[in-house]
Chains A and B, each alone.
Chain A
């Protein structure tokens, strides 16, 4: 029996004032314990969909729900159930890793956490112990991304949205990051991740939504992709060789 989706889009559409359609009736759902990858190139509509879920952009049509809460009608309530990580995670360079974590944990509703609890999450994401109390100004992008992921984890939200999280990471850091995503999936989190990295999508996704020019061209499960070459499939879709 299919579970209810934690992250849910129904006919989600965004048309800008200049008439440009950034998202065209996209529908999909992410269930607990599922990693859903939005796969597409620049301008495919992946980030537009994410921005709508986070209330940064109002949709023109359709509905976006997180944990059953409509993000348009009750954005603050909806955001209680989602953690977010973007590709640009500079965080606060004058704060230490723990101080950054503390600030965002408190924003996410976690008050009075002990130093050990913060350290435990930082250890979970693989940050070196000596970096816990170091200011972020000297951190590499990979290290900052780990702190960002720790921020997403500590909120303990049922939904996690990741916008191009491995972009700019070296292979080792990207691999470590991937392991963390899989770990979160095993904890029952519904993960929506945008990426243009076909290899990463195939490795981590339970479901892949292929997007191009705002349209959701296809939604393929891991099982469906087992016998297919995702790269070839993706290129066929975006070149219109396969009917959407």
Chain B
């Protein structure tokens, strides 16, 4: 402790920290990079908010069209019910896979449900250039920002002679490096929080409906972003304390940045694809189609057999025919569901293994760790589609039950036969359907606890990377040749 204090009791680190903060903030480099980062952060919030509003408008319009279509019908069996994935407020900042997966589902009481009409599918231009969101800003801009300020933190001071001048005083090396690490972090992080805060105020100002849980999630996304920034800053300071010339440390930091941002995440996906063979979705779909066609033939064969065997067209015939169709549907559906489930499960298991491989390898890169953590926190990660399809499956059961109550049939493929003179038929046709009777679809989503447990490991990893690089920079500087 004695060594950390000067004779007059002023901690040496305080003097060094003040210098560090003032030196960074008064530099032209800071003014330019901070200005660019601030504009991009605010722009990312603005673009995200506009996209969310646009998505909400499309969602509401699509729902209204669906309700109108239902209201125009008189028989629930004729309904082609569509569900639309509701945009989530956090996709404003962390779009994740939300624009890649479909937004519309045609709900049938039986059979496999799929998502169609993804945002990128509808607007291919966005698929090319992607959206500007906060993750993009953190991954590309913040990490570069960190490198620009860290690469010459130590060896730059050596080149300018100030390091020798500082250490010619009664100052310990520990004080110098601690002030460098903490000072750089504080001088850069605090100003970056300003545009982020402005962005948060914009969310409120534009009336984006954020729950308390979503604000907590957003807070954690920001923490993850700052940890990612910190990891790059500490890493580049560590490199600066390991390499004599600042030009060399800049080059090395840049190479690491390129690997971290561009090569490792994409390389991990390629390696995982080689390591774990997953059948293509087209192949799986072809198998499903083939099976369905086989069932189709069998179904008509069995119907023909029924029609040939039961030739009495009495009053109860239509009921017998409906009951036969129901039992036929049930048996085919069970058989098909089982086959599809096996196919899907096999594909999913392989895909999971491939994803695990890819994510594990990509986690070498701080930016990839941040991206995984941010997507988990915003619930826009790769499991979004699976979770949504599970919700759809649950809804499908309720929808089938609803149709059974309304039509007396569990749905599926039906041949509707009407006989002239049936009483009440015309009356039924005149009565329009009430779309509000349709069961309400609710996305279960994740609880805060589930979200945290999905992202905690990555947040922890980012913290560990910060500590590792911090300790690395500290140790490297203690051995640094200041001559």
Residues of A within 8 A of B (CB): 47, 51, 54-57, 76-77, 79-80, 82-92, 94-95, 99, 103-104, 106-109, 111, 148, 151, 155, 161
Residue of A nearest to B3 (CB): A76
Q: Determine if A95 and B160 form an interchain contact, defined as CB atoms under 8 angstroms apart.
A: no
Q: Determine if B10 and A92 form an interchain contact, defined as CB atoms under 8 angstroms apart.
A: no
Complex Cα distance A89/B165, Å? 9
Contact string against A for B residues 453-483, beta-carbon threshold 8 Å, 1 for contact and 0 otherwise: 0000000000000000000000000000111
Residues of B within 8 A of A (CB): 3, 6-8, 10, 12, 15-16, 19, 22-23, 26-28, 159-162, 164-172, 481-483
Q: Determine if A92 and B161 form an interchain contact, defined as CB atoms under 8 angstroms apart.
A: no
Q: Determine if B169 and A92 form an interchain contact, defined as CB atoms under 8 angstroms apart.
A: no
Q: Determine if B19 and A82 form an interchain contact, defined as CB atoms under 8 angstroms apart.
A: no
Q: Determine if B7 and A90 form an interchain contact, defined as CB atoms under 8 angstroms apart.
A: no
Q: Determine if B483 and A56 form an interchain contact, defined as CB atoms under 8 angstroms apart.
A: yes
Q: A79-B171, A90-B162, A91-B160 are in contact. List 10 more A-B contacts (CB 8 A).
A: A56-B481, A80-B7, A80-B169, A82-B168, A85-B165, A87-B161, A91-B165, A99-B22, A104-B166, A107-B15
Cross-chain contact of A90 among B6, B161, B483 (Cβ < 8 A): B161
Complex Cα distance A151/B15, Å? 16
A192 to chain B, nearest CB (A): 13
Chain B residues near A103: list those with CB within 8 A: 15, 19
The list of the 4 closest CB pairs from A to B, nearest first, reads A90-B160, A84-B168, A88-B161, A94-B26
B21 to chain A, nearest CB (A): 12
Q: Determine if B161 and A79 form an interchain contact, defined as CB atoms under 8 angstroms apart.
A: no
Q: Determine if A104 and B169 form an interchain contact, defined as CB atoms under 8 angstroms apart.
A: yes
Q: Determine if A111 and B10 form an interchain contact, defined as CB atoms under 8 angstroms apart.
A: yes
Q: Determine if A51 and B169 form an interchain contact, defined as CB atoms under 8 angstroms apart.
A: no
Chain B residues near A88: list those with CB within 8 A: 159-161
Question: Given the known A-B contacts A92-B23, A111-B8, are A106 and B164 also in contact in the complex, defined by CB atoms under 8 Å?
Answer: no
Q: Determine if B483 and A57 form an interchain contact, defined as CB atoms under 8 angstroms apart.
A: yes
Q: Determine if A79 and B483 form an interchain contact, defined as CB atoms under 8 angstroms apart.
A: no
Q: Determine if B170 and A54 form an interchain contact, defined as CB atoms under 8 angstroms apart.
A: no
A23 to chain B, nearest CB (A): 13
Q: Determine if A95 and B8 form an interchain contact, defined as CB atoms under 8 angstroms apart.
A: no
Q: Determine if B165 and A84 form an interchain contact, defined as CB atoms under 8 angstroms apart.
A: yes
Q: Determine if A86 and B164 form an interchain contact, defined as CB atoms under 8 angstroms apart.
A: yes
Question: Given the known A-B contacts A51-B483, A86-B164, are A107 and B169 also in contact in the complex, defined by CB atoms under 8 Å?
Answer: yes
Q: Determine if A86 and B8 form an interchain contact, defined as CB atoms under 8 angstroms apart.
A: no
B306 to chain A, nearest CB (A): 90
Chain A residues near B3: list those with CB within 8 A: 76
Q: Determine if A83 and B168 form an interchain contact, defined as CB atoms under 8 angstroms apart.
A: yes
Complex Cα distance A90/B159, Å? 9
Q: Determine if A94 and B166 form an interchain contact, defined as CB atoms under 8 angstroms apart.
A: no
Chain B residues near A86: list those with CB within 8 A: 161, 164-165
Q: Determine if B7 and A109 form an interchain contact, defined as CB atoms under 8 angstroms apart.
A: yes
A142 to chain B, nearest CB (A): 15
Chain B residues near A148: list those with CB within 8 A: 165
Q: Determine if A79 and B162 form an interchain contact, defined as CB atoms under 8 angstroms apart.
A: no
Q: Determine if A84 and B10 form an interchain contact, defined as CB atoms under 8 angstroms apart.
A: no
Q: Determine if A79 and B15 form an interchain contact, defined as CB atoms under 8 angstroms apart.
A: no
Q: Determine if A79 and B168 form an interchain contact, defined as CB atoms under 8 angstroms apart.
A: yes
Can you spell out 28 A-B residue pairs with CB atoms less than 8 angstroms apart? A51-B483, A54-B164, A56-B481, A56-B482, A76-B172, A79-B168, A79-B169, A80-B170, A82-B168, A84-B164, A84-B165, A87-B161, A90-B161, A91-B161, A92-B23, A94-B23, A94-B26, A94-B28, A103-B19, A104-B165, A104-B166, A107-B16, A107-B166, A109-B7, A109-B8, A109-B170, A111-B10, A151-B165
Complex Cα distance A81/B44, Å? 55
B178 to chain A, nearest CB (A): 15
Chain A residues near B483: list those with CB within 8 A: 47, 51, 56-57
Complex Cα distance A79/B167, Å? 9
Cross-chain contact of A76 among B161, B166, B170 (Cβ < 8 A): B170
Complex Cα distance A197/B15, Å? 37
Q: Determine if A92 and B15 form an interchain contact, defined as CB atoms under 8 angstroms apart.
A: no
Residue of A nearest to B168 (CB): A84
Complex Cα distance A28/B481, Å? 26
Complex Cα distance A59/B169, Å? 19
Chain B residues near A77: list those with CB within 8 A: 170
Chain A residues near B166: list those with CB within 8 A: 104, 107
Complex Cα distance A107/B10, Å? 10
Chain B residues near A57: list those with CB within 8 A: 483
Complex Cα distance A92/B19, Å? 10
Complex Cα distance A79/B28, Å? 34
Complex Cα distance A148/B166, Å? 12
Complex Cα distance A47/B161, Å? 14
B10 to chain A, nearest CB (A): 6
Residue of A nearest to B160 (CB): A90
Chain A residues near B482: list those with CB within 8 A: 56
Residue of A nearest to B18 (CB): A103
Chain B residues near A83: list those with CB within 8 A: 168
Chain A residues near B170: list those with CB within 8 A: 76-77, 79-80, 109
Complex Cα distance A86/B163, Å? 11
Q: Determine if B26 and A95 form an interchain contact, defined as CB atoms under 8 angstroms apart.
A: yes
Complex Cα distance A108/B168, Å? 9
A80, A84, A85, A103 pick with most chain B CB within 10 angstroms: A103
Complex Cα distance A56/B163, Å? 11
Chain A residues near B481: list those with CB within 8 A: 56
Chain B residues near A108: list those with CB within 8 A: 169
Residue of A nearest to B158 (CB): A88
Chain A residues near B161: list those with CB within 8 A: 86-91
Complex Cα distance A92/B161, Å? 10
A80, A91, A106 pick with most chain B CB within 10 angstroms: A106
Residue of B nearest to A84 (CB): B168
Complex Cα distance A90/B169, Å? 17
B16, B161, B165 pick with most chain A CB within 10 angstroms: B165
Complex Cα distance A87/B26, Å? 26
B151 to chain A, nearest CB (A): 17
Complex Cα distance A85/B16, Å? 19
Q: Determine if A95 and B23 form an interchain contact, defined as CB atoms under 8 angstroms apart.
A: yes
B166 to chain A, nearest CB (A): 6
Chain A residues near B10: list those with CB within 8 A: 106, 111
Q: Determine if A91 and B162 form an interchain contact, defined as CB atoms under 8 angstroms apart.
A: yes
Cross-chain contact of A92 among B7, B16, B159, B162 (Cβ < 8 A): B162
Q: Determine if B167 and A106 form an interchain contact, defined as CB atoms under 8 angstroms apart.
A: no
Complex Cα distance A104/B15, Å? 9
B149 to chain A, nearest CB (A): 13
Chain A residues near B160: list those with CB within 8 A: 88, 90-92
Question: Given the known A-B contacts A90-B161, A90-B162, A103-B15, are A55 and B167 also in contact in the complex, defined by CB atoms under 8 Å?
Answer: yes
